[in-house]
Amino acid sequence: MNAVGVQISGVLPSRDITVHQLKGKRLAIDTHLIIHQYLLSTPSLDKFGRTTNHLVGVFHHVTHLLSLGIKPVYVFDGSFLEIRKHEKFVKDASQPRVTSVLSLEMINETKALITALGVPVVQAPAEGDAQAAHMCVKGDVFAVASTQYDALMYGAKRIVMNLRRLSKKVQLYELKEVLASCKMDHNQFVMFCMLIGTDFNPAVENQKNALRFVQKYRTFTRTFEKIKWQYGYLPKAVYEHIKTMPVTNKYQLRYGPVDKEVVKRILVEHGMSEKRIWSVLDKI
């Protein structure tokens, strides 16, 4: 299994746009991904020994996007759906995904902070990037903001890469341009992603060979007949797992005023000074 999602470099066409071109647009944020990035930095602890990186990081992330006039939607991963459990999956029973560094308590307090900042939170039934892609296909968000390409694999119309606090420009990938450049349809693009590795299977080819195989053989059967697939699940099972990843329409994208008292309570309880909190909130 590829623990860092679909990784592609130098193959897909993109164009640079300024962050100001995203003003007024809704962006679905791959929230677990950014929280883990904050948690991998030097730990910051409050007086009770609790990690505060996730709250401080998300606080700055949300307020920065709001200050740019961007409308973020924070999408949280649900439980990791194993291939063998796919058919028995119950969407309404999904739970937020916990990891070795991200507890349920940390997820819940992050959700509470984002909500207090007047920004919508969406709980995915399974993969957050699949849910974000679904919202993009529906037209509920303009793009998915991530550092990985998984949302394209799930069919997102467009993704935005490298949306960092100090970034003045970001990379915009349009699915229709990606498919035209690669001379593929979306089903073939999913096959390409499987060959270079996804969250559900290890890589079996490098990018160059994977692109060449799919472009040459075109169909699923012919492509995977030529591949040395050494993985416990058959290629078709992985493909169907990706193509039928559960998503939900049970979300509301409502924005409201910042509840400053709740924001202050959450952050002060975790050691952030009131002066620092107000200085950040004054910028949005």
Query: Domain 15-182 is of which CATH architecture?
Result: 3-Layer(aba) Sandwich (3.40)
What's the pLDDT at 2? Answer: 45
Question: Are β-strands 71-76 and 143-146 bridged in parallel, bridged antiparallel, or unpaired?
Answer: unpaired
Mean pLDDT of 130-145: 98
Question: Are β-strands 169-174 and 15-18 bridged in parallel, bridged antiparallel, or unpaired?
Answer: antiparallel
- In the predicted structure, residue 80 carries a pLDDT above the cut 90: no
Amino acid in the structure at residue 93: A
What's the pLDDT at 57? Answer: 94
Mean pLDDT of 52-81: 95
What's the pLDDT at 4? Answer: 58
Determine which of 36-45, 118-127, 186-195 has the lowest per-residue pLDDT on average.
36-45
CA atoms within 13 A on the CB side of 227: 30
Relative orientation angle of helices 260-268 and 104-116, to the nearest 10 degrees: 150
CB atoms closer than 10 angstroms to residue 186: 16
**Residue of 166 and 28 predicted with greater confidence:** 28
Q: Give the three-state DSSP class for 129.
A: helix
CA angle 68, 23, 162 (to 5 degrees): 70
What's the pLDDT at 7? Answer: 73
Helix (H) or strand (E) holding 15: strand 15-18
From residue 17, alpha-carbon distances to 25, 111, 139, 160, 204 in Å are: 13, 29, 20, 9, 34
Q: Give the three-state DSSP class for 61.
A: helix
What's the pLDDT at 54? Answer: 94
What's the pLDDT at 183? Answer: 95
Tens of pLDDT, residue by residue over 233-254, are 999 999 999 999 999 999 999 9
- Residue 156 CA to residue 76 CA, distance in Å, equals 17
What's the pLDDT at 144? Answer: 98
What's the pLDDT at 1? Answer: 45
Domains in the chain: boundaries = 15-182
Mean pLDDT of the chain: 91
CB atoms closer than 10 angstroms to residue 231: 14
